[in-house]
Amino acid sequence: MPAAKSDPPPLSERYTQTQGRVHLTGLQALVRLPLEQLRRDRAAGQRIGALISGYPGSPLAGFDQELGRVKSLLEVEDVHFVPGLNEELALGTVAGTQLIDLFPHSRYDGVIGIWYGKAPGLDRSLDVLRHANFIGTARFGGALAVVGDDPCCKSSSLPSHSEHAFAHAMVPLLAPADAGEVLALGLHGFALSRYAGVWVGLKLVADVADGGAILDLAGETGPVELPKFQVRGESFQKQLDTRLLPPHVNRIEERILYERLEAVCRYAFENGMNPITQQHPRDRIGLVASGRLYRELETTLELLGIDDSRLAALGIRLLKMELLYPIEPRRLGEFADGLDEVIVVDERRGFLEDQIRSALFNTVDRPMVLGQRNESGEPWLARHSEVSAETLALDLGEHLAQRLNQPELSSRAGQLRAATTLPHRVQAPSRPPVFCSGCPHSSSTRLPEGAVAGGGIGCHTMALLMDREVKFVGAMGAEGSSWIGLSSFVDTPHLFQNLGDGTYFHSGRQAVRACVEAGVTMTFKLLYNGTIAMTGGQRAVGEKPIADIARDLLSDGVRRIVAVSDNRALLALARGNDSVKCISRERYEEAMAELAREPGVTALIYDQLCANQKQRLERRGLLPRPTEQILINQDVCEGCGDCGRKSTCVSLRPVPTLLGRKTRIHQSSCSDDRSCLEGDCPAFVSVSGPAAATLAREKWMPEQLPEPEPPAWEGERFQIYLVGIGSTGVVSTNAMLMRAAEIDGLYALHLDQTGLAQRGGKVVSHCLLGREPLRGSPRVSWGAADVLLAFDPISSCDSDSLWRLNRERTRAVVHEVLVPTGEMVSDPGLAIPEIGEFIGELRSRTRSLVALPAEALAEAALGEALAANVVMLGTAFQRGLLPLSLHALEQAIRDRGVAVETNLAALSLGRAVAADPGLVDLVLLDAQPPSIGETGSPERAASELGAPWAVLEARLSLFTPSAELETLRRELAGFALDLVDYQNLSYAQGFLGIICGVARAEAGGDPGSLELTRTAARELYRLMAYKDEYEVARLQLRGPFRRWLERRRGRQLKLRYHLHPPLLRALGLKRKLSFGPGIELLLHALVWLRRLRGTRLDPFGRTQVRREEWALIDWYARVLARLANLTRPEHLPPAIEIAAAAENIRGYENIKLERAEKVRAFVQTKLAALPFS
């Protein structure tokens, strides 16, 4: 473990520090870039200003937010940040800075400008860019167009490769490979723009923008070379020219092609750009790559065992392309000289390869150029959606082995390939992105039966991944226009068109006006959530209050507006305008059906704050937190999943219990949306009062923890792989590791892979540490992970994660929790896998593994489940897995300044349970509610249940003695004793009699098996203890959950019950009612009247569902009696399957009736196939 160094400068100084070591992400380097340029201009005696404008979009989604964090520094340094309404207007804004020489400007000598946007934003801004580039740049100006490319389409609707767009605009394009090069090439970009009079593009992909490094600042560098050359006998001099009309504009185009771009090439050559990084006299093969792909190529060579000396021996030359357009011919000619073959590692569209092939075509002895395709013309390197070091190693290893007659290269590639062929013990379900807990889009994108919708750009696009009848999706700002072209030719009379509020302000309003003008019949669903949620929760530029939006829509010709809103200004507008109506969420489906019948263009505004933004504001104290929590009474819950199906909220977590699957609300992620209350279930209660007590720190924190043994590490690349779920702190944990490494004086590379995954999908972070500067890919290589922090076992067991593990090398800390996927929540019929399956898979792939219930520990000991990741970090440290000091980890937590005391305690908690695993049981004692049957007492059963219990004990004695048998005895005692309280002693004794027959049959067939008896007892109990009005009242007042809740939070808590009484339902009430503590008098009366159950005096017994519940008990008893006639061991598996079928009879009212009918049919079919005597 490294000794703690003197701490590095504070995080706030990463933009002002001029030398030494610093941690920068790609986006932070982009923030530092204009500041660095202005410092250099001041040193040269020039007073230069800067302006930044653009529109957020991944992978540049956080750039504007980072600018906002250092607003005061920017203002001091004369950097103006003007967020753009949309990309093309932002680009026009930046273009204006280069016109300064046309106006008086006494305060500034010039202005530099930065435009930023996602690749689709560049596409729509291309005309503005071409105009700006034709005009040129100011004398002391310079302009960069920074584009966020997404070639692998991880967070876009289409893959994006912007090279062709820049070439079309005749704008030079630079491709930085990492954060350090964002600075270095960005500075070249300003110098190049100022010198040659052109705009310069900067292409950032996710690996660069979302990645980062601890690096040494270059410090002061010498001035760049500005080549002097002549064009037609005159010295080159850029010209700012705004005369964009023919014939003069043709002359401008000529100057760009033959003067400015020539100046670009000369600048690149004189300043050492596009370096040949490896060159030897007898080289035969050349490898070319740019940007992040060059870093992948470096790691590829390492994987193949090719170091610098080996490159010379093999005759391999390397060219690192920094200027992608235009191709600089002299350096390329020098590189290609004498080579037989040039292999270009490029993105899928092959822009760089095509340029190189064209540039070399007329040369003598030109080499063969390969890359997109091999020598046979077949798709080759870029056939993968994402080119990585490993895919390159597999392809290049075989190729180079054959070309250079080096079979060991093929062997190396084969070893990599073997890592991908190891059999999987468990098939991990995918974890696609999903609407956040309480996301308004989860409700707003629903449709009435038979309706269809058009999609748009925004979080709501994820409706495409769900069964929401979204038929298509188009470009941002074109929402609804497809219907203009389609509606006249199809039978569908009406379309709903989803339109986010960010898109509406960006360009979507024009689409609404176009549809009104075309006279189509459709309804725009304007999803008003108050923030640009997809890119980090920014305020939408140009946003308006919702009432003003309604006025705009009416003025644009929208016929009618219905709003799900209680906004006061909008309510006032509705009172004075018959074309506007405000409704509650309960009437949403009715409103959709009403608007679908309305001719012309209508609008449905769904007004609800983004759930993520709501939680952010609550954590910052800008919104009051809810004073009560929604809980699910586990005893009342049937685990039917209706609440999940209706809300699709991922805070509804299926949990296994003794009585099968139940549902629990994950409080840390719950946004209090309350759409789950629409589930047809009386288990929901609102709780107010004291928070649950946490375990005192002195009970789990020892006075002194032993210092762990540090990992054996030679100081080379140490690779940590973090896998988790979006919005749970995976990226924050990686940032903590990076800050700790910086404090300990280490170098590092890192990458956070999120994209759409931040919406509840898989998130991966890579952290690479070293004592010397690191080169190559920032990703953990296949089979090279030293440490796995598996915050989510499901995501950790997919192929991409497993390939990075090594059973001889990887040591793992695994979160012992199974967070359901969105599909598991919304589909109650989907089987929930066992957490042990995933832990077993990871254990088989790693050198060592420790699993711990970190979230439960954090909640029980600290009252904050979100600290789970830090608990795991503490465990990893204490077990000697991390090459970091305790001082550095603790200081990193302090430096981040977020929940400092809680996170420091979480780190200590993780260390404590690693040092003493027995603390886990102590901390978690009574942390979760028990199930009925878990605490049963056989002794009490013997005393109260009489002879039937003694008979059952005799039957149980026929089984092989085991701990599992003792557990079954306790469960049976718990079920039977509870049935006494449910109805009476006779009722419980009837239960025991039926189970006796099953136990006798199973013990006779296989005395080592208990599964049939356990299953029969569980399902018979559930059917006998059916949840009518009496039972719901009993469980709400005195069930195990209520007793546990009072232990945890005190008896002074106040409850509200959310009920839909069957009698009121029969009278036409279509929604639940909320009842305060006063309803408990009625509940007590119902408990007292439960003896009427099943008699002629039972006021509830005449309903269809109650009659069916009585019939189900008799039916299942007869089924078990038939199964008791099976005595052969081979009959046990089908008998268990039949007995377990009853577990699907869950839910209330119609849900239960529908499922019971299906189960009866299934059981009848299965019974018919068995050989009964």
Contacts of range 1022-1025, beta carbons closer than 8 Å, 24 or more positions apart: 1022/659, 1022/660, 1022/1142, 1022/1143, 1022/1145, 1023/1109, 1023/1112, 1023/1113, 1023/1116, 1023/1142, 1023/1145, 1024/979, 1024/982, 1024/987, 1024/991, 1024/1113, 1025/932, 1025/978, 1025/979, 1025/982
Least confident interval from 505-514, 955-964, 1048-1057: 1048-1057
Are residue 840 and residue 965 in the same domain, yes or no?
Answer: no
Are residue 772 and residue 878 in the same domain, yes or no?
Answer: yes
Sequence letter at residue 367: P
pLDDT of residue 690: 75
Are residue 382 and residue 471 in the same domain, yes or no?
Answer: no
pLDDT of residue 1068: 80
Per the domain annotation, does 617 fall within a domain?
no
> Whole-number mean pLDDT of the chain?
92
Q: How far apart are the first and last CA of the chain?
A: 72
Q: Residue 933 — pLDDT band, cuts 50, 70, 90?
A: confident
Are residue 723 and residue 872 in the same domain, yes or no?
Answer: yes
State the Cα–Cα distance between residues 1035 and 637, nearest whole angstrom: 10
Are residue 404 and residue 513 in the same domain, yes or no?
Answer: no
Domain end point (choices 586, 609, 632): 609
Per the domain annotation, does 615 fall within a domain?
no
Q: pLDDT tens digits for 509-534?
A: 999 999 999 999 999 999 998 887 77
Per the domain annotation, does 614 fall within a domain?
no
Domain end point (choices 588, 609, 630): 609
State the Cα–Cα distance between residues 586 and 566, nearest whole angstrom: 13
Residue 711 has pLDDT above 70, yes or no: yes
Total domains present in the chain: 5
- The CATH number of residue 280's host domain is 3.40.50.920
State the Cα–Cα distance between residues 870 and 732, nearest whole angstrom: 10
State the Cα–Cα distance between residues 605 and 491, nearest whole angstrom: 26
Are residue 1165 and residue 1126 in the same domain, yes or no?
Answer: yes
- The CATH number of residue 154's host domain is 3.40.50.970
Are residue 920 and residue 956 in the same domain, yes or no?
Answer: no
Give the residue numbers spanning the domain of 415.
Answer: 274-419
Per the domain annotation, does 891 fall within a domain?
yes
State the Cα–Cα distance between residues 593 and 485, nearest whole angstrom: 24
Are residue 892 and residue 985 in the same domain, yes or no?
Answer: no
Are residue 959 and residue 914 in the same domain, yes or no?
Answer: no
Per the domain annotation, does 885 fall within a domain?
yes
Are residue 914 and residue 959 in the same domain, yes or no?
Answer: no
Domain end point (choices 581, 609, 637): 609
Per the domain annotation, does 857 fall within a domain?
yes
Q: pLDDT tens digits for 557-569?
A: 999 999 999 999 9
Per the domain annotation, does 485 fall within a domain?
yes
Per the domain annotation, does 429 fall within a domain?
no
Among all chains, which residue has been given the structure tokens 């957490």?
Answer: 835
State the Cα–Cα distance between residues 759 and 821, nearest whole angstrom: 11
Q: pLDDT tens digits for 45-75?
A: 999 999 999 999 888 988 999 999 999 999 9
Instruction: Determine contact, residues 650/669, Cβ cutoff 8 Å.
Output: yes
Q: Residue 1062 — pLDDT band, cuts 50, 70, 90?
A: confident
Complete DSSP assignment for 827-885: -TTSPPPPHHHHHHHHHHHSSEEEEE-HHHHHHHHHS-GGGHHHHHHHHHHHTT--SS-
In this prediction, residues 333-359 reach a mean pLDDT of: 95
| Cβ count within 10 A of residue 1134 | 15
Are residue 185 and residue 300 in the same domain, yes or no?
Answer: no
170: left (phi over 0), alpha (psi -120 to 50) or beta: left
Are residue 158 and residue 98 in the same domain, yes or no?
Answer: yes
Q: pLDDT tens digits for 634-646?
A: 999 998 888 888 8
State the Cα–Cα distance between residues 975 and 1019, nearest whole angstrom: 11
Q: Whole-model pTM above 0.85?
A: yes
pLDDT of residue 589: 93
pLDDT of residue 757: 44
